Structure 1
C-alpha cells in the first residue's frame, strides 16, 4: 500500500502495516497512482518511484506554482493535466508522448462557432478506461469564460481527439468517474451526477451527489443527505445527513464509512450489496473519533479495507473483522 504524507511517499506492507520504504522530498501532493511496478505522484513535478525499492526512476519538473490533476497510469503512459494542458508521459522513462493545450468543442445549443477549451486541473480531471482517455475541460478558464464545462475523449497512444461534448448550460464539473459502459460527471454546482452512455446523455441525472463510484452502468453516489445507487433498472437509497463517506466498490459490495453527526454511537465501516442495498457486513469500532462519516474515505482491495484512525492507518478484512 502506498501512502502520501507531507511531500513524501511511504510503502506499507499490506499484511503487517510495517513500512517497507520511504521516499521523501519529492514535492508530492494528492493521491499517488500505481502502474507496472511504479508509483507516480505529482506536485511541482511528476515523479516515478520504483514500487519495490522506493528509488526515484525519473522526474519531470512543472514548477512550484503549477496546478495539476492527480496522475493516471494506463496504456503505457502517465496522464496528467498541468496549468490547463494535458500531457502523456511514457511510463518507462518519462519522455513526452504527446501534449494537448486546448480542444475545440461545438456548443451544445448550436448556432455558434467552435469554442476552444483548456483542461481542468481538478484532482479527478482525467480517467482512463476501455482504451480511451477522458479529460475534463474547464469552461471558466477558457476563452470568454464559457458558461459550461465539457469532456473530451482521446486515443491514448496517438493523442488524437475522438469526441468532445459540452455539458448543459451552467454545469461546472467537480470530477469524472468511468466504466467500460459509461462516463459519470460529478457536478458541484448542481450537487449531482450526469451519466453519458455511448457518448450520449443518459436519461438519468442523480441529484444530491458529490462523489461517485461506478461499475458498468450502475453508479453509487454520496451526497449531503444520502447514499444511493442508481441504475437503468433498479435503485436504492440510504438516508442520513453527513453520515456516509465517499463510496468504494469491490466484488459487488459498496464499502463506506458511517457515523452520525453529533451522535455518541461508535464509528462504523459498512458493506452494502451493490444490487439491492442490503447490509452484508458491518464493523463497529470501540469508540467515536469522527465528527461524522462525511469525509472519511475507505481504500478497498480484495484483501483489506483501509481507513484513517488515530492519526494513522487501520486495516480491516473486507468482511468487517480485524485482519
Structure 2
C-alpha cells in the first residue's frame, strides 16, 4: 500500500515569525512599446512553481514527461493535503491542509516543515519564499515556514489568488489591483480602476473584476471594460481590449500563455480567449479550460473536446456528457481526471467516470486510462517532473512509474547465483524498486499509442497547450467538436505486479523518522511494494496492515 502520512503528527507547528529577506531581484522596467514579449519569462524555471502551474495559471507544461499509465503507482500520500492546489519547486511540494500549510519532500512525502498558524492556500514560489493567499497574502521562508511578511488589506475585501512574477506579487482586492514587492510586501503600485470606452461608448471608470496572471513580460487581468495587459514595474497599460462586461459576470479566474489569455464568466460555460499580444478576440473555450500555444481543451454538460486557439486545424470531442474533468496539458498529452456529475444513470455512451485518462492533445485519442479500481487516482493537483500529484479522497497522492531499470536489477538479484553482492543485498538494497514481472503484460502498449496516434505538426509540438479550472463542475456548454477519440484502455490492471516477494518483509528499510514501511533511510522509494500492496488491498488479499483504507 502507498505511504500515508498525517502532517499534524510530526510535532509542534512553527509559530509565526518575523523578519524579511529578499526573494530575488525584481524585473527591470521594460519599454512598454516592446511588450508583450514572449521571451520575457516570468519564472521560475520549474514545471509547477505556482498553484495552477506557472504564473500564467494555465495548467500547462510545455515540455512535460510522457507517462506510461500501466506503470503508474502511488509512491506516497499525505492525509488532508489534496483538497487544494499545490506548488512544486526544488523537489519540495507546498500545500495547504486542514491544519495549516506544509512543505513536503517530493521524493517520499516526508514533512519538511508545517505552520499551523497560517490559514491559506494557492501557493506560489519565488526565490527563497513561498506565498499563500488567505484573508491576507502571506510570505513564508521556504527553509522553515516562518512568516516573512503579511499584507494588511481591508479584512472585508475578497482576495482570490496571487500571482508572483517579475519580483512582485500581484493581487486584486475589492476591485483594486495591487503590485506588492515580493521581498517585503510594500506596495509597488496600485490601480483602483481604469478609464476606458468599450465599444465606442463614452469613457467611464471600470474596476478590476478578475485575478491576475503573468506571461510575456506583462500582468494580465480583467476590468469591467474587458481584458487588460499591464507593465509589471509601473502598471502602465500595454493594451486594453474594449469588451464591456458587468462586474457580476466573472468568477475571478484568468489564465495566460504566450498565445492567449482566457477568463471565466460566471453562470456560463464559455471562456473568451484573446490574443496575448494584442488583446483581440480569437476563440471561445469551454468549461474547465486548459490551453497552451496551439490548442485549448475543456467541456461541460454536453461534451468534452479540444480545438485550435486559432483556425480549425485541430478539433475533437469525446462522449462524456455530464462528465467533468480538470485537465493539465503536458507535452503532447492531455491528462484529465473524469468524474460524473448528474445526467442519466450509467449511460452506455459515457466514455469515462472516475478515471485518470491520457489523451493525444491533437486528436483526443486515448493513450491510456487508469481507474480508481486500479490506483488511487483523482483530480490532478500538479504535474512536475516524473510525478503526477492527485487528490484521492482528500489525500495528496504522488503517482510515479516503476522503471524498467528497477525490474532488471530485481531479476539479476534473484536469478544470478554468481552475483554475490547483489544477492546479499536483496533484503536491504535501499535504492531499488524491485517488482518482478511488472512489464510482462504491459510492454509496448502505451508507446505504440504515443507514436502512432499523434498527428503532430511538423513544428515543435512542445509549445502547445495549457490547462485550467480548479472547480469540479461547470455549467452547460456544448463543445461542439467533431470526432470521438477511441482508445485502448489496456493499462488498468498490471497483473505482473503480483510477483514481488522479496521486499515485503524488509524491515531494514523501515528506519524513516516517521517509521513508514517501504522507504529507505535515504528516502529512496520501494515503489513496487507500494503498488503491490494497493492491488492486494483492492483484491482483499492482505488486510493486516492496520492502516485506514481509502473510501471506495
Fold match (TM-score > 0.5): yes
1:173-212 equivalent positions in 2, closer than 5 A? 173-174=250-251, 175-197=253-275, 198-206=277-285, 209-212=286-289
- Counterpart in 2 of 1:253? 333
Instruction: Tell me whether 153-162 or 9-18 shows the greater mean CA deviation.
Output: 9-18
Q: Which of 163, 168, 191 is the aligned partner of 2:239?
A: 163
Label 1:203 to 1:118 Cα distance change in 2 as closer, same or farther (>3 A): closer
| 8 Å Cα contact 2:323/2:353 also seen in 1 | no
Instruction: Give the ranges of 4+ consecutive aligned residues of structure 1 lying more than 3 Å apart after TM superposition.
Output: 168-171, 200-203, 259-266, 287-290, 318-323
Q: Which residue of 2 aligns with 1:275?
A: 362
Q: How has the CA–CA distance of structure 1 residues 276 and 300 changed in structure 2, closer, same or farther, with 3 Å as cutoff?
A: same
Q: Provide the TM-score with structure 2 as the length reference.
A: 0.50
Residues 210 and 224, structure 1, Cα contact 8 Å, conserved in 2:
no
TM-score, normalising length: structure 1: 0.83
Question: In structure 1, what is the Cα distance between the partners aligned to 2:393 and 2:267?
Answer: 34
Match of 2:315 in 1: 235
Which residue, out of 64, 67, 88, partners 2:155?
64
Alignment of 1:281-296 (within 5 A): 281-286=368-373, 296=379
Gaps of 5+ in 1: 140-148
What is the deviation of 1:248?
1.0
Tell me the distance in 2 between the aligned counterparts of 1:61 and 1:287.
Answer: 47
Structure 1 residue 225: deviation in Å?
3.0
Structure 2 residue corresponding to 1:134, chosen from 216, 220, 230: 220
- Cα deviation code 1:3-59 (max 9, x no counterpart): 11247211122121222111222242x422222232111222211112222121111
Compared CA separation, residues 131 and 26, structure 1 to 2 (3 A): same
What is the alpha-carbon distance in structure 2 between the residues aligned to residue 298 and residue 263 of structure 1?
A: 27
Residue 67 to residue 6, structure 1, CA distance change in 2 (3 Å): farther
Larger radius of gyration: 2
2:101 and 2:119 in contact (8 A); partners too: no
1:164-187 residue CA offsets vs partner (Å, 9 max, x unmatched)? 223256793332211112112333
Give the count of matched residue pairs. Answer: 301
**Over residues 205-248 of structure 1, what are the superposed CA-to-partner deviations in whole Å (9 max), with x where a residue is unaligned?**
23xx1222111132112323322111032121123133232211
Query: Higher strand proportion, which one?
Result: 1
> Greater shift after overlay, 79-88 or 157-166?
157-166
Question: 1:108-161, CA deviations, whole angstroms, 9 ceiling, x for partnerless residues?
Answer: 2x1x321211112x5xx2110010100122x3xxxxxxxxx5211100111111
User: Higher relative CO (CA 8 A, sep ≥ 6), structure 1 or 2?
Assistant: 2
2:213–2:255 Cα contact (<8 Å) kept: yes
CA distance in 1, matches of 2:283, 2:135: 39
RMSD: 2.8
Deviation (angstroms), 1:297: 4.1
Q: In structure 2, list runs of 5 or more residues that go unmatched.
A: 1-92, 402-445, 447-490, 495-526, 532-552
**Is the contact made by 1:218 and 1:229 (CA closer than 8 Å) also made in structure 2?**
yes
Is the 2:304–2:321 contact (alpha carbons within 8 Å) kept by the matching residues of 1? Answer: no
